[in-house]
Amino acid sequence: MKKFLSLAVIIGAVLAISLFMVRAFVKSAPPMKVAEPPALNESPARVYGTIEPAGREVFVSPPQTKEVVRIFVKEGDTVKEGQALCVLDSEVELAQLQAARARIEAAKKVLAISQDDMKRKKDLYAKKVDSEFRYTQARLQVELEQSNIAVALKEAALVRSRIEQLELKSPIDGKVYKCDVRLGETLSAGDNTRIILGSPDLWVRLFVEAYWKDRVTLGSEFSIYNSETDEQIGVGKVIFKAPYMGRRNFRTEDSQERFDTKFQEVVLELMSSKEDVPIGLSVIAELKQG
């Protein structure tokens, strides 16, 4: 029993000495300095964005899946509103139009016969030689034939409209940024990735994080760099700030990027001496100091 009491006393003494030494060390050590957060107003604002035509891209796509039979433009061309870009195969529609026109001509001939019959029965009815019922039947037949012609004319107009839609035209005055079509290949309905038009002037659409937004004002100037090569592309001036905060519509390579971060869209007018700046290019914009 005495051995256990002696061991307990020794352990207690060791713990007391250790506690005393730790407290003495803590008191003698200098106080830890808390790192101050960096001053954002002194840090360079660097934000991500993309190059786009002024006013955004314009996509041209066919209403039907058809084969390309003629091409009038190439990438880099300047086009006017209404100018033909390419023509899709309309062989089926032309056959339908020819058939519709034949039906119209046939219906007109039938109508002429029905009108002559109605006129003859009307005269006979007026002379009390024929009955009112026969005259009424002849008149209704004429109205039916007239209705058939009207339907055939609308069908022909509908086919002509489809043929016109197979000639893809530019909806704007602008530049052909992409024309990925070839003779003989099939262009799918609704495919808006093959022909892209836009203004020859370029914008940069930025996504400014919340803590930078107060430093970015209308007229602020940025230096614009290629996000992959760090090559300077030009400078941009803020011409628009969205009146709301939202999520960005693309991801960057930043491993620290959070999905729930809110951004404000900002549009810059790009001024560059380069003539081959591609739209869709990912860029970094650095706010000029001062």
Model pLDDT for residues 80-112, shown as the tens digit of each residue? 999 999 999 999 999 999 999 999 999 999 999
Mean pLDDT of 249-272: 72
Q: Which residue has the higher pLDDT, 255 or 62?
A: 62
pLDDT, tens digit (0-9, with 9 covering 90-100), for 18-73:
665 656 555 565 555 544 544 555 566 788 899 999 999 999 999 999 999 999 99
Confidence of residue 247 (pLDDT cuts 50, 70, 90): confident
On average, the pLDDT of the chain sits at 84
Q: Do domains 46-56+197-287 and 91-165 have the same CATH topology?
A: no
Do the beta carbons of residue 67 and residue 89 sit within 8 Å?
yes
**Domain range summary for the chain, segments of one domain joined by +:** 46-56+197-287, 63-88+173-191, 91-165
Q: Cα(42)–Cα(61) distance, rounded to whole angstroms?
A: 48
Distance CA 88, CA 62 (A): 8
Q: Is residue 205 predicted with pLDDT exceeding 60?
A: yes
Q: pTM higher than 0.75, yes or no?
A: no
pLDDT band at 288; cut points 50, 70, 90: confident
Beta bridge mates, 169: 84
Considering the segment(s) 46-56+197-287 as one domain, its CATH architecture is Beta Barrel (2.40)
The answer to whether the CB of 169 falls within 8 A of the CB of 82 is yes
User: Which class is domain 91-165?
Assistant: mainly alpha
